[in-house]
Amino acid sequence: MTASVVPPSAAEADPVEGSVPIRVLVVDDHELFLQGLQTVLEIEEDISVVGRAGDGQEALTLASGTSPDIVLMDVRMPGRDGIAAAGAIKRAMPRTRIVMLTVSDEESDLFEAIKAGAVGYLLKSIPPHEVADAVRAVHNGQSLISPSMASKLMVEFATMARGTEDRPRVHAPHLTARELEVLKLVAEGRANREIARKLFISENTVKNHVRNILDKLQLHSRMEAVMYAVRQGLFDIE
């Protein structure tokens, strides 16, 4: 499959006044799925599909030329797979947010994707109308994982936390008590709205705390920060 830059449709060329469409690159080795994904996203006025690629290497090349906000990418593809491509794209363009959209429900693929910098891991069984919502959520700073995969991730976090019980706790001078509190709630799978309610603060304040955490730890995603915190024994996960 040859990579391609997608020309704007009439709606995309004339977006709603004052708005900036979310720029999305879609990557999959199945042409039919790729076309369907593009169609689903192009009907949204606030989303612009800037390119399509059929494997990880093409994705990296197109991402360099189109500077997408979001990359929706399959995990298993010929040549350079999605996880390897995710790592390469994050190194080249740290601000680009990557969501894996795949049939793979293997825990190893989920963990490797997160380590590579992906901020989302969604199964292709997701209803088509929810894809655009996922793009918007990730663009707004959320991390998204399909429920069945999220439960596996929580089990892994708990296992990792138990493995740190006999190690001395690492002092984290760069994170405030409030930031650690927010990060622990993120690790429990709570959304920004739930965290805000729990701590009696606004959602914007939660977002600011998460942004500060990532900046201080020099990480790219909420899940990376959680994995760091759990490995270092910064808090317990029940």
Predicted confidence band of residue 33 (pLDDT cuts 50, 70, 90): very high
> Which sequence spans correspond to the domains of the chain?
4-145, 152-231
pLDDT reading at 165 higher than 80: no
pLDDT reading at 200 higher than 60: yes
Distances 62 to 24, 67, 96, 134, 231 between C-alpha atoms, Å: 11, 8, 13, 22, 35
Percent of the chain whose predicted confidence (pLDDT) is above 70 = 80
Alpha carbon 237 to its chain centroid, in Å, reads 22
- Cα 227–233–237 angle (5° rounding)? 70
DSSP secondary-structure letter at 53?
E
- Cα 103–28–223 angle (5° rounding)? 60
Q: Are 69 and 24 in contact (CB under 8 A)?
A: yes
Q: Are 210 and 168 in contact (CB under 8 A)?
A: no
DSSP secondary-structure letter at 126?
S
Predicted confidence band of residue 154 (pLDDT cuts 50, 70, 90): low
CATH 3.40.50.2300 holds for 4-145 = yes
Distances 173 to 57, 151, 226, 234 between C-alpha atoms, Å: 40, 31, 16, 11
Q: Provide the pLDDT for residue 155.
A: 64
Among 35-44, 139-148, 192-201, where is mean pLDDT lowest? 139-148
Q: pLDDT tens across 68-80, in order?
A: 999 999 999 988 9
Predicted confidence band of residue 151 (pLDDT cuts 50, 70, 90): low
Six token digits for residue 82 = 């999605």
Reference 189, options 158, 233, 220, 159; nearest CA is 158
How far apart, in whole angstroms, are the C-alpha atoms of residue 152 and residue 145?
Answer: 10
Alpha helices, H only, 78-176: 82-92, 107-115, 129-139, 147-162
Residue 99's φ and ψ, nearest 5 degrees, are: -120, 125
**pLDDT, mean of residues 112-141:** 89
pTM above 0.95, yes or no: no
pLDDT reading at 10 higher than 70: no
Alpha carbon 146 to its chain centroid, in Å, reads 12
Q: Provide the pLDDT for residue 7.
A: 46
How far apart, in whole angstroms, are the C-alpha atoms of residue 53 and residue 86?
Answer: 13
Q: Are 77 and 91 in contact (CB under 8 A)?
A: no
Q: Are 37 and 131 in contact (CB under 8 A)?
A: yes
Predicted confidence band of residue 32 (pLDDT cuts 50, 70, 90): very high
The CATH class of the 152-231 domain is mainly alpha
Q: Which residue has the higher pLDDT, 187 or 13?
A: 187
